[in-house]
Structure 1
Amino acid sequence: MSDLPQQARLAETYAEVEDALLSRWPETRLEPSLDRIQAFAELLGEPQRAYPVIHLTGTNGKTSTSRMIDTLLRALNLRTGRFTSPHVERMSERICIDGEPMDDEAFVRAFNDVAPYTHLVDAEQPHPLSFFETVVGMAFSAFADAPVDAAVVEVGMGGSWDATNVADGKVAVVLPIAVDHAQYLGDVPAAIAREKAGIIKPGAVAILAQQTADVATILLDRAAEVGATVAREGLEFGVVSRTPAIGGQTVSLQGLRARYDEVFLPLYGAHQAQNAAVALAAVEAFLGDQPLDDAVVRDAFAEVTSPGRLEVVRRSPTILLDAAHNPHGAEAVAVAIEDSFRFSPLVGVIGVMADKDHEGLLAAFEPHLEHLVVTQNSTPRAMPAAELAATAREVFGEDRVTVEPRLADAIDKAATMAEAGEAFGDPLGSGGVLVTGSVVTVGEARAMLRRAER
């Protein structure tokens, strides 16, 4: 190990960390195995065993639910670590301690703490550590160093062979399962469910969001097989009622230990109310048999934020950002907009990744958008705007589609259309813009629009 310092590429700046991480296998290149991350965790001293974990999987809603769980735990005076992916704007958002993303200095330190060991794993394994595996190691180590009282960990993709699965969740949360990442996980929800069920470990409490019957069967079978306790949305916990309100909604939630009424949630849509019920049940299961303090629950939910999830980033016209990138997510967002807003017209700006079900996504949005501006984000994985437009014209019709390959131009064009509401027969022009289709598209739009506001 004497040559370790020469091999280890230590970083001095945030940009150098980004560069070093991005030079590794990308998140889209998968080799389904836990061998590398297990070897890495072992060299790091098994940091993921230093604190109890709440582990989340599912197709949509993981990040919002993780943020709610984190906020609730902190309201109960617990120190938290939170790992989510992908990031919206900056890589360091993936690792949060006490609700805050790591600052640049802490992110560099977290990287340098694990960097010497990455090369040892690379040398011993048939394939080098990936970008995602390295960031997971950084997160687990940073949480142990903090130290945290609880870690809220979102899987990257799937479950069984996701790098986060070297941790054993005291509570395993399975959000609604639909089809996404079909080329990696399969194109049938039941096949995906088998993979995601792998985070349910012996002796854990499994908190299950509402699922289709075939998916529920697979999850319950897994829980029975490993001796996990199960709580199901709609049976042991759930949303009792919800009313849209200015800036969000007011919900009544039935938890595992008590009912919590008149809780204001500053997020839009029935899907976020359901995420709140799941988050509440997960925290109750994590803490034991006592109900939570009513005022603490209210205060915590009132503080919840979820960037890029039906987030209003500008008014006049209103511009909403949502990271929906599959048909299931698009349906939830479309219904939430109808539920909480009165836009006339609503103009969509959509840029997607080439490996996604773009046709299903467009079909889900079609009844809700008067017009669509097709664009692309700046990554190599983006579907070219012209290619997306060809499908969009089939779904929306020629007259309802405009192509603007540059995202900034697309947003400007959509905002102009939304303001000129009378062109769509609404003289008041109470239009809105929805930017969606990909976390990357939304992240780039968010950075752009927030810069312009400053």
Structure 2
Amino acid sequence: MTDAQDRREPSEQELADREAADAVFAELLARIGEGSPQPRLEPTRRAVELLGDPQRSYGVIHITGTNGKTSTSRIIESILRAYGLRAGLMTSPHLVRVTERIMIDGAPISDRAFADNWADIQPYLLMVDAELAANGEEPLTYFEALTVLAFACFADAPVDVVVLEVGMGGEWDSTNVADGDVAVLTPIALDHESRLGRTVAEIARTKAGIIKPAAHVVTALQKPEAMDEILRAAEHDEAPVAAEGVDFALLDARLAVGGQVIDVRGRAGEYRDLFLPLFGEHQARNAALAIAAVESFLGGGEQELAMDVLHQGFATVTSPGRLQLIGIEPSVLVDAAHNPHSAEALAKALLGSFAFEKVTAIVGILTDKDARGIIEALDPVVDRFIVTQSESDRALGSDELAELVMHIAGPDRVSIEPELSVALEEARGEAGPTDAVLVTGSITLVGQAMRIAREEGWAL
């Protein structure tokens, strides 16, 4: 949607469609939430079976990992569209509206299509709910139902290929009822330990569960214990593996206005002087991983990609909520870093891609995250912290988080403001022309900041 369309008054039909989509979201929210996923596949498999297995009607590139999943997914999808394929993209979570999670042809699914597809599949979901209840099991969860809806939306569009990001883990994630032609693994680190495992090896074992027989496996540089699990799973399924640093690599990344210029050695060719409109070395590595994934999907890793198509695909890449500039005068950046690994990448990118005089970080973190690790990673590059909390019911209280931040950064560098809108107003008011305000710590906080910026009229 263009800025002009954003500013005009919506029509009666658009308002009705939005209301219908919001009603679907309310029904999804009434189910078991994303914070409590069920480690099972059978209910999702039963639902798509009743619908005629829509997930088998298009090619699938399946993506898991701890960090970089959404950005890598978006780069892959953009390249595929540049090749003339009609692409679907499922990512999670959303920043502002749930329809962001189901993208078709590079745009969020329309409210009308979202609501109509829900009406089509709802009787089958209720049938599965009844079967589960009869067996003493929980009904379909929010994410299970949403995954089935996404598969149905993509089949209805229809699309040629779906870039499918897991919700959590891989092996028992509801997206895993799809058989990925390519399994992509971004860097694996500790996160969601209570659900996925207490060690990197255990987490990698769960994530490697997306590898299917004879699929192409494309993996980022991994810790040895994670790589061992990936190779073991791939060998079991006779799936060839292409690994960063061996089969493909980022050769160089140079800062440029609005992003960076990168050189990549892919599986089938070298691609130089590609402009990537994203900041940070981690995004350059995500781009190299994306290129290898597309090479694997289109030509089994043996067919060089066309440079003009790659340039076109990269030109349209966006990664909302990932080191994104949402306001100027002063600069306001948002980044969805929510674990130490992603916070370290954010800190490195702030040092390498910008030249701010001072950085004020507004932070809010969820209770199940490693808050200490996140703050320790940000501390060297942040001049002042304003501790807040998001609207999520899983948000760590601002007083409790502030105590931790003060212990790390010192009380003189920390203040508390539970209301994000007030924290933003304070930070923006005090920032100089060469300073920056950074909102980070959780995806929910970033989404809330983006909404506030639009409502208050200072969003880009």
TM-score (norm 1): 0.94
How many residues are paired up?
A: 435
Distance 1:110 1:263, change over 3 A: same
Q: Name the structure 2 match of 1:370.
A: 383
> CA offsets, 1:238-267, max 9 Å, x none?
101010111110000111111010000000
Q: Is 1:19 the equivalent of 2:23?
A: no
* Aligned partners of 1:435 and 1:442 also within 8 Å: yes
The match for 1:408 is: 421
Match of 1:373, SS state, is strand
Instruction: Quote the Cα distance in structure 2 between the aligned partners of 1:187 and 1:55.
Output: 24
Q: Aligned match of 2:358 in 340, 345, 364?
A: 345
Residue in structure 1 matching 2:82, options 75, 84, 94: 75
Identity of aligned residues (%): 48
Is 1:431–2:431 an aligned residue pair? no
- Alignment-mate amino acid for residue 284 of structure 1: E
Query: SS at 1:13's partner residue?
Result: helix
Following the alignment from structure 1 to structure 2, what is the Cα–Cα distance between the partners of residues 269 and 89?
A: 24
Q: What does residue range 439-454 of structure 1 map to in structure 2 within 5 Å?
A: 439-451=443-455, 452-453=457-458
Paired AA for residue 433 in structure 1: V
Letter in 2 for 1:320: L
Indicate yes or no: 2:203 matched with 1:192: yes
Q: What is residue 120 of structure 2 aligned with on the other side?
A: 113
Matched AA of 1:430: T
Q: Structure 1: how far apart are the matches of 2:423 and 2:263? A: 39
Give the match for residue 4 of structure 1: none
Quote the Cα distance in structure 2 between the aligned partners of 1:450 and 1:272: 26
Q: Pick one of 81, 84, 88 that aligns with 2:91.
A: 84
Matches within 5 A, 1:411-422: 411-419=424-432
The equivalent of 2:66 in structure 1 is 59
Say if 1:255 and 1:280, in contact at 8 Å, map to a contact too: yes
Task: Tell whether 2:168 aligns with 1:163.
Answer: no
Deviations 1:86-143 (A, max 9, x none): 0011101010111110121111112112111111111111110000001100111111
Q: In structure 1, what is the equivalent of residue 326 of structure 2?
A: 313
Q: Secondary structure of 2:245's partner?
A: coil
Matching residue within 12, 18, 40 for 2:47:
40
Give the structure 1 partner of residue 5 of structure 2.
Answer: none
2:370 counterpart residue number:
357
2:282 is aligned with 1:268: no
Q: One-letter code of the match for 1:109?
A: D
Contact conserved, 1:347 with 1:417, CA < 8 A, in 2?
no
Check conservation: 2:218, 2:243, Cα contact below 8 A. Answer: yes
Deviation at 1:446, TM superposition (A): 0.6
* CA-to-aligned-CA distance 1:396-430 (integer Å, 9 cap, x gap): 111010100000111122223322xxxxxxxxx51
Code of the aligned partner of 1:260? Y
| TM-score normalized with structure 2 length | 0.93
Contact persistence 2:38–2:141 (CA under 8 A): no
CA distance in 2: counterparts of 1:169 and 1:104, whole angstroms: 28
Aligned to 1:203: 214
The answer to whether the 8 Å contact 2:114/2:153 transfers is: no
For 1:416 and 1:141, the matched residues in 2 are separated by 47
Q: For 1:209 and 1:260, locate their aligned partners in 2 and report how far apart those are by CA, in whole Å.
A: 18
Give 1:246-325 correspondences, 5 Å limit.
246-288=257-299, 289-325=302-338
Write out the 4+ residue segments of structure 1 that deviate beyond 4 Å after TM superposition.
none
SS of match in other structure, 2:329: coil
Q: 2:157 matched to 1:146?
A: yes
CA RMSD of aligned residues (A): 1.1
Q: What is the aligned counterpart of 2:341 among 288, 312, 328?
A: 328
Gaps of 5+ in 1: 1-10, 420-428
Q: Secondary structure at the match of 1:54?
A: strand
CA distance in structure 2 between the aligned counterparts of 1:302 and 1:309, rounded to whole angstroms: 17
Could you tell me how far apart the structure 1 residues matched to 2:139 and 2:388 are?
35
Instruction: Give, in angstroms, the shift of residue 12 of structure 1.
Output: 7.0
Matched, 1:386 2:384: no
Rounded Cα–Cα distance in structure 2 between residues aligned with 1:65 and 1:27: 22
Gaps spanning 5+ residues in structure 2: where? 1-17
